[in-house]
Amino acid sequence: MSGLLEELAYTKGLAEGLLEGAESEAVVRVVKRLLSLSELMAARITEIEAQQKKLNEYVETVDGDLDRLERTAYGISEADGRESRCPSCKEKLVYDADILNRGGEVECPACHHNVLLEAAE
């Protein structure tokens, strides 16, 4: 983000230098309006990035909570639990080692692709 703000400050400086000698009042108004709009956009992007960072942290927390809930719901202890990735969507798959004895195939909850766990490891 700092790159955007730096570029905006540099452009604003260039524009102000050009506007000092501008003959047309209309051109001056348009350029000043565009600079003002650019400042508003940069401020809003900064806000959105901060919100996105908070949202990412929240999603990671919820993901950890959901992982613990899935392990509890399916009776998977930390020692018995295994993880793999769906080759299609790269979603994390958590499963019990007993699944390998029952064919080793699970459905990815994200993309519904059937994953053969022996091949995925």
pLDDT digits (tens, 9 = 90+) for 93-105: 877 777 766 777 8
Which residue do the tokens 């003002």 mark? 36
In this structure, the number of other CB atoms found within 10 A of the CB of residue 114 comes to: 10
> Mean pLDDT of all residues in the chain?
82
In this structure, the dihedral spanned by the alpha carbons of residues 51, 53, 56 and 62, taken in order and rounded to 10 degrees, is -70
The pLDDT of residue 54 is above 90: yes
Query: Could you give the angle at which helices 25-73 and 2-20 cross, rounded to 10 degrees?
Result: 170
What is the pTM for the complete model shown?
0.50
Q: Which is more confidently placed, 10 or 84?
A: 10
Classify residue 121 by its DSSP letter. -
User: Confidence class of residue 1 from pLDDT cuts 50, 70 and 90?
Assistant: low
Structure tokens, 67 = 């992982």
Tell me what pLDDT residue 77 has.
67
